[in-house]
Structure 1
């Protein structure tokens, strides 16, 4: 179907297919971002006046946006645009005395279980790491928390 759209647009626009694909992708991105940020038709019209589009094209685009904005927002809600939230952490230490799989005898392994929530669904993410990997994870989390604190408290 994409090929059909590209061929039809190529015949209509009489331009190179790669230029048409790029323009098509940019129009779709603009529609999605406008729906994601709940942009009104008036705000979108003001934004598009800075471009080389004619008033008729801007009005047509804004009308299209107004007609499909709610449907796009509903689709974005089902897809989601955020990462899951960590709601709980469980951990335990396993001390492997000897293993037939690898030579990591005598090294403690940490089993981490993160409970996450996205769109009301709770899922569990589990992984195993060494003490060095766990320390690196904790340092990265602390660094991210410091960075967020700097952004929120100027």
Structure 2
């Protein structure tokens, strides 16, 4: 999880009692989480806060980004607390208040992310088995290799694991491997190609 320096500083400001008192902090957290379930206009949500509008917009924007990243990487309480310490939001009461709200809204946030953003299921493991058919009812001698593969993937924005199982011949498997190698080479060329600059 990588956040820009500006966002890290804004998260730290949320824990600064000289900038926000506890009441305003809780209101910002409450209303930011409400954005995920608010059906009407969100422009009036923050009207009751007596905070400079520029600062308020920055804090809400940075807090939203932090929430998105926590959900994207499926951070647990300990991970979130570690990030708060890293970003200098060290007040235990404020840390705990955020975590309680995060637990309350995480399912809604995951639904929101699934609907509004593009994120792909993640392949986390591959298991394979070679089956060798030696004979059938019609023949006493037949050697027919067949691969049985199980792909394990984590569903987007969740901890749920799903198995994809299929069988294929050695030729099919070789073709799949070649296509994956080709895709990997394309990605490598894309990520290592130096940016061309115009010379005057």
TM-score w.r.t. length of structure 2:
0.37
| Structure with more strand by fraction | 1
RCO greater where, 1 or 2, for CA within 8 Å and sep 6 or more? 2
| Structure with more helix by fraction | 1
TM-score w.r.t. length of structure 1:
0.46
